Structure 1
Amino acid sequence: MTDERLIKSADRVKDVGEVFTPKRIVDLMLDQPEISAKVNDLTATFLEPSAGEGAFLTEILTRKMQVALEGSTSVDNYEDRILLGLSSLYGIELMEDNYRMLRHNLYQTFAVNYLRGLKAKGQPEHGKPKVLKSAKTIIFANMVQGNTLTYKNVHDQPIVFSEWASYKQEGRIWVKRTTQTFESIVEGEQTDNGLVVPEDSQLDLFTDFDPDTNEVKSKDSYLQYKPVQIVDVYKEELVDTNKE
């Protein structure tokens, strides 16, 4: 017998159908050949539409980080690869307490495995702040509190995910961050427009307010994320296309 908690309360089971998946079931599912092959691919994406506290996503992350470690050629390459694996994981969770634990658990899983990997490579076990900060940035971008069925977040705005298009440059992994609404991804309407969509203030970036008419007017330009090394995504550098 284990001490795993499968429910938080009978009311939550009744109201939102909340039941947690036991670790042995998670392992059994991820050990299936077709799933295991994707776990071994650092760029293969996983979306957990009802992520809970991250039972599936933390285990996938642990496995992907091991793949990244085993295939790395240097410490820099290892750090690039573990962030690449992390960037492939997405989650949506309705309940606020679960959502907070989801982000916490993913970050802790990343940090612990990152330090273990450094130790395996004979490196200091404190890690680089920019790697940890970039991991947090990716987690906060890829994990959303909202309703999968309505495609809306807790602010009743469209769920927006970041996509991280990776490429190699001078031996390092770089990414071009763009944003897509969850609904457009499901419907296959990939625009790849690079628009920056903040979770609860979308209007500010896409429109200007005209004080003379008290109306909102469309901007002629929009902001994009600047391509950066994946270890530098924490900077979240933006480029105004009107100035390019």
Structure 2
Amino acid sequence: MKTTVEQSLRAYLDDKTANGELGPGSRLPTERALVAQLDAPRSAVRRALDTLEGEGVVTRHVGRGTFLTESARAGAEAAPPDTSPVEIMQVRLVIEPPVAMLAARLATQADLDRIVECLQAGGASSTFEDFEAWDAKLHRAIAHAAHNGLLLSMFDVMNTARTLPVWGTLKRRTSTPERRGCYHQEHEAIVGALVDRDPEKAERTMRVHLEHVADNLLGRV
């Protein structure tokens, strides 16, 4: 099986954390250095970093660099390789609607700005890969806006399961431009509720969205 740039980057980070060179909060090498280290195109390295950022493994700050998050190791180790799409959706339905309710109450303006940024980028995405990357970033930005470290760690554990091949294959097989457009409209409703500081609507619109995703992927879970 061919190793992807994303897999190579994950293996690189695993090695560096295992031997103590990197830890929570550590700054990663520059994109240029990673391009040389992984022997990969810069665009592919950037896409891999986008994916890891969406999962909460790394965080990026303009002008400062890319950093390993506090939950990176815990999340990567805690996602069982045999987790099924049904299990993923069941857990998402348990965790994400209440998280959206909390975010509507507790989000800062900076949180809302980041959420809106992810929403707009997702809406402008023209490919499956770009939309999925921004979808993951949007949902994590909402989880981050709840300002509950334990909930965020639980979210990150769940979110790593979305990187499993069985999930990606199912999402790609069921994705169409029309369906992505529908998801974007649902995202707009969720973000609108957050911006309006409406906890009940945020919880409801998130639940409706996830139930729609579950129906499209595998029928009602």
TM-score by structure 1 length? 0.29
Relative contact order (C-alpha < 8 Å, sep 6+): which is higher? 2
Higher strand share: 1
Higher helix share: 2
TM-score by structure 2 length? 0.32
